[in-house]
A and B are shown apart, each in its own frame.
Chain A
């Protein structure tokens, strides 16, 4: 524009303004510190206070760890070695480590079996977690794992888990065949088949109880962090599919299905988990015939699974509600039937939205497995509270033991959290 037209309204751009980098004073570490830590008197005071608090905490924590001892057979040894240096008595962890992990009843010469099962978890889980990077056939490892792990941890004949697997496969095949005539008929036929195979399988595994036999270990003997891990993995992997079914059921147009799901969710969610565990422990026995030996761990698994499934169902319902109605309509208008629309269109999106909520419940569930210590099961917390702290050797060594428990739980929970954030990034399809 020339000066003569400086006040004119008309304007025509003749050349594009090239993009330029921001001014250098507006970037770099110095700017970050100034803006985030010392942007004003109040923030400067807060920064200094914050540094003081961190310094105070570290000045207690570092000597406790650095001066601590890992040697010694009991609390008196510890006191002698430490001589009031303020260090921690970590000897208790070294001494009772196997008990913290396996409980005090699991036979020590069989501990390799749960250890092996734990290691195999790292073979079995990646195919499910990283399904987009690994070939689909690797999922076989995930499918086989529960049966192998059961056999390793509980022992007995391999036929028992094998028959269970057969029952599931048989039920699924029958379901697939009959499904063409209708979903409900298929489901009923599948369940009947599975139960029949399971029933016959009971005789087979009784008859062949010596086949591929490992020394059996009773459920009562399970304990320590192993028990938390068993309950955590089993309940999480069962409660997610159950939660999905409850969430879909709650949306159903069929009044009986919907009513059942609503009542189930509202009831289970309205009751403390501890009461459910007491029910599992004591009350359930009244309802069962006296000769039925219903394993305590299974009862606890059922209760925790029901509890977290109700929560997960509500989380997923939120995800379903967040989907625009148009997604349902587009799926319908293309002629997809209900199971297809759910499986291919609705659930992938709803579950993606629900990931943070589901992980929240899963992490909470994993930590809630410590509640079984109140119904006299010796999980990690039960072991510390009971046999270890009440032994004369280690009475009063609270800090070190609880810190160890915290670290064990934190490692697992933080791993779950990191995985879920990674998964969310992987599934983002908008601005890639």
Chain B
């Protein structure tokens, strides 16, 4: 499979370095009185591919949304790529431009063409010249295998194609970290594969990834760490092998038996 070549400077694919990409310490978050995230400690090394799973309402989406400040945390520290996440807007914008994100509902901009969706942020945030931004965009659209749709609008594409465009749009910002928030949950079974293939491609090329997903096949194949969350806490984390074959916590066992049981 061809590499996506997002970070040409990183020589070895699928290896984890000692360099810390994200460091979360003692992080707590409340929605009003509701304690959604409790004492989260998580260190992500560069090149790691982490899958986060857990029942709905367990706080897994909230956790990755805190990493690029789509949600505000009330206690603890988050350091992304050496930049501490504070209320300073400069830092937030810097982190957001370094961290790509894909959403469950794609969130493409429906009033712009596919190409414009991909070039918008590089042109306005990175101040890339238009032509260069378009070349980059076409490069990544080819990698996700939809260059011929570049001048259509998102509403004319299938769900799977839209999600691949969303991935390409994030990659155009040359992010060092990618966050995926249930990227395949809104897709038909036939389209899930094409999106997962793109994500696998990305992983093989060495991208640091945090994926909230229930695609356990993907977790087995790609992840080097699986995190299970329940009631706002990290309940268990392990390498995929150990996680699936030998879960320790009762809650994890129940969850796995339910999602793998049919």
Binding site for B on A (CB under 8 A): 324, 326-327, 329-337, 340, 344-345, 348-349, 352, 427, 429-432
Interface majority SS on A: helix, strand, loop or mixed? Answer: helix
A327 B107 Cβ-Cβ under 8 A: yes
A-B contact pairs, 14 of them (CB 8 A): A326-B105, A330-B103, A332-B69, A333-B100, A333-B103, A334-B96, A334-B173, A335-B94, A335-B96, A340-B125, A427-B111, A430-B110, A431-B156, A432-B156
A329 touches B111 (CB 8 A): no
Residues of A within 8 A of B109 (CB): 327, 330-331, 345, 349
What is the interface of chain B mostly: helix, strand, loop, or mixed? mixed
Interface residues of chain B, those whose CB is within 8 Å of chain A, are 68-70, 89, 93-94, 96-97, 99-101, 103, 105, 107-111, 120-121, 124-125, 153-156, 169-170, 173
- In the complex the two chains form, is A429's CB within 8 Å of B68's CB? no
The answer to whether B156 touches A344, judged by C-beta atoms less than 8 angstroms apart, is no
Residue of A nearest to B100 (CB): A333
Q: Are A430 and B70 in contact (CB under 8 A)?
A: no
Q: Pick the contact of A335 from B108, B110, B125, B169 — CB < 8 Å?
A: B125
B155 touches A335 (CB 8 A): no
Contact B156 A329 (CB under 8 A): no
Is A352's CB under 8 angstroms from B93's CB?
Answer: no
A335 touches B107 (CB 8 A): no
In this complex, the member of B97, B99, B110, B154 whose beta carbon has the largest number of chain A beta carbons within 10 angstroms is B110
B103 adjacent to A329 (CB under 8 Å): yes
The distance from the CB of B257 to the nearest CB of chain A, in whole angstroms, is 33
Of A326, A340, A352, A431, the residue contacting B107 (CB under 8 A) is: A326
Known: A326-B103, A333-B103. 16 other contacts (CB 8 A): A327-B107, A329-B107, A330-B101, A332-B68, A332-B96, A333-B99, A334-B169, A335-B93, A335-B97, A336-B124, A344-B124, A345-B120, A348-B111, A427-B111, A431-B155, A431-B156
A174 to chain B, nearest CB (A): 22
Task: Report how far A176 CA is from B2 CA in the complex, Å.
Answer: 45
CA distance A345 to B154 in the complex (A): 14
* Contact residues in B for A432 (Cβ distance below 8 Å): 153, 156
Complex interface: chain B residues within 8 A of A335 (CB): 93-94, 96-97, 121, 125, 173
Whether A340 contacts B155 in the complex (CB less than 8 A), given A326-B105, A327-B107, comes out as no
- CB-CB nearest in chain B for A331: B109
Cross-chain contact B68 with A324 (CB below 8 angstroms):
no
Bound form: Cα–Cα A293–B99 in Å = 58
Cα of A45 to Cα of B124 in the assembled complex, Å = 64
A residues in contact with B173, CB < 8 Å: 334-335
B210 CB, nearest partner CB in chain A, Å = 13
Closest Cβ of chain B: how far from A345's Cβ, in Å? 6
Contacts of B155 in A (CB 8 A): 429-431
Q: How far is the CB of A5 from chain B (nearest CB, A)?
A: 31
Distance between Cα atoms of A335 and B69 in the complex (Å) = 11
Q: Kindly identify which residue among A327, A333, A337, A431 contacts B101, using a CB–CB cutoff of 8 Å.
A: A333
Closest to A351 in B: B111
State whether A330 and B156 are in contact (beta carbons under 8 Å apart), knowing that A335-B96, A335-B173, A344-B120 are contacts in the complex: no
In the complex, chain B residues whose CB is within 8 Å of the CB of A329: 70, 103, 107
**Given the known A-B contacts A330-B108, A333-B68, A334-B125, are A430 and B96 also in contact in the complex, defined by CB atoms under 8 Å?**
no
Q: Which residue of B lies closest to A343 (CB)?
A: B124
Instruction: Tell me, in angstroms, the Cα distance from A165 to B140 when the chains sit together.
Output: 45
B residues in contact with A431, CB < 8 Å: 155-156
Say whether, besides A327-B109, A348-B111, A352-B111, A333 and B70 are in contact (CB < 8 Å): yes
Return the contact of A337 from the options B69, B93, B111, B120 (Cβ within 8 A).
Answer: B93
B110: which A residues are within 8 A, CB to CB?
349, 429-430
CB distance from A350 to the nearest CB of B (A): 10
How far, in whole Å, are A352 and B121 apart by their CA atoms in the complex? 22
| Chain B residues near A340 (CB-CB < 8 A) | 124-125
Point out the residues of chain B lying under 8 angstroms from A334, CB to CB.
96-97, 120-121, 125, 169-170, 173
Query: Distance (Å) between the CB of A281 and the closest chain B CB?
Result: 43
Given contacts A329-B107, A330-B103, contact A430 B121 (CB under 8 A): no
**Chain A residues within 8 Å of B70, by CB:** 329, 332-333
A345 to B, closest residue via Cβ: B109
A337 to B: closest C-beta gap in Å? 6
Residues of B within 8 A of A330 (CB): 101, 103, 107-109
